[in-house]
Amino acid sequence: MLRRRDLLAAGSVASLFGLAAPLLAQTKASMPALPPVPQARTFELANGLQVIVLPSARAPIVNQMVWYKVGSADEAPGKSGIAHFLEHLMFKGTPSVPAGEFSKIVARVGGSDNAFTSYDYTAYFQTVAADQLELIMRMEADRMANLIVAEQELLPERDVVLEERRTRTDSQPAALLDEVTREALYGRQGYGIPVIGFPQEIRTLGVADAQSFYDHHYAPNNAVLIIAGDTSGDAVRALAEKYYGPVARKTVPARQRSDAIGQGLPRTVERRDRRVAQPEWSRDYIAPSYRMGETRHAYALLVLAQALGGGQTGRLYRALVLDSKIALDASVGYSPQALGLASFGIGITPAPQRTMAEMEAAARQQVGALLRDGLGEDEIDGAKRRLLAGAIYARDSLSSGPRMYGSTLTTGGTMADVDEWPARIVAVTRQQVMDAAHAVIDDSRSVTSLLLPENG
């Protein structure tokens, strides 16, 4: 699981629009002053669609993202992969945009587009010249309301999804181990089921499954539209009213997340495979998110993860890679952006000739020292600075701001959660970090994962 986690994702939730810079003055770091950036503008259409506008005149381009509040953890039992499968089918046409033409039209005007599915959300995005904003808003609103799910398109696309699973999961030992680890942590439900689905269940997905999922979840009142770039709030409002406004709202099922965890913890899972060139040791602990569990620990856990595993400056890297040289890499991952429970993970890549037993002993020693002696104020301050700096640098991208708002708003958060993130990080105390560490680093609620060569 640690191998797939974006260590900067949670850090870049900080407001990308100028709020982080003044807060840095409250830490012991000095950062260059940033130019002011316009605040996000938000409004809601009569049909329930929330719209966010992030103006930026730095380049004559715009980025549109539509986020749906549905992901793989919302799937019915036995229908794993349907959220991701529908993401593929959304490119298969409407009465006004024939199958396969959506991306071709975007490309013809010099733009790019794509989509992605996660456990809690599904998102679609395009980047085009600013004068093409109306075009992409019209087409995205069209497929929100008028998708055609046809068998002649579905069957070959199902084969594409199965091939994607073979390429990205079944042929990757680390990915296969990740699946086993998640199931051990969460059980065979929700976050314990792979986003892409189990192959035996993907093969059974048909037109009725895709149509039902679309009909139940793809609605303006279950979506967030985010426009970033060279435009204005007034311009976006006019276009949103024109194209998205007529899309009818629907009755959307309530979202459920279980706080159940895997059976028989603690557990050790391993994957031995002839394709493994580099062994890895990791341990994942059940942890709270912003929305579930002991949520008061979430911000402190972000600081803890950065202090322990923030690249070459993190305590684990310094101790295991630079000082003792028993490891090639050491990192920590934690992302609280979820509707359900999260995980806090430690990962170590052993140096040649070093064993997994040595990695576990080293991890235990470091964790024991942390829980016994705590972190220094300099380590806490450094972690905060790195988290805030990551947010500041991320703001230069037209995709980073929309992604932070989108992932927050589709997992039960608010605009304030994004805008106030830097202040909440700065406010974390050393005592809060230690309280969070003692609450979460509990071997009785953990899964240890071993990735090994076939004969290792």
Torsion angles phi and psi, residue 200, rounded to 5: -65, -25
Contact 298, 289 (CB under 8 A): yes
Q: Which residues contact 136 (CB under 8 A, 6 or more apart)?
A: 64, 106, 111, 113, 126, 128
Contacts of 153 (CB under 8 A, 6+ apart): 89, 92, 93, 99
3-to-43, 201, 229, 288, 446 alpha-carbon distances in Å: 38, 25, 32, 19, 16
Radius of gyration of the chain (CA): 23
**87 counts as catalytic:** yes
Cα dihedral sign, 121-122-128-131: negative
- Which of these, 223, 213, 215, lies nearest to 48 by C-alpha position? 223
Q: Active-site residue among 87, 140, 153, 379?
A: 87
Which residue shows structure tokens 């490891």? 327
Name residue 331's beta-bridge partners.
347
Find tokens 């958060």 and name the residue. 413
Give the DSSP letter of residue 74. G
Distance CA 36, CA 220 (A): 32
Which residues neighbour 347 within 8 Å (Cβ) at sequence distance 6 or greater?
2, 3, 280, 281, 282, 309, 329, 330, 331, 332, 333
Active site residues: 87
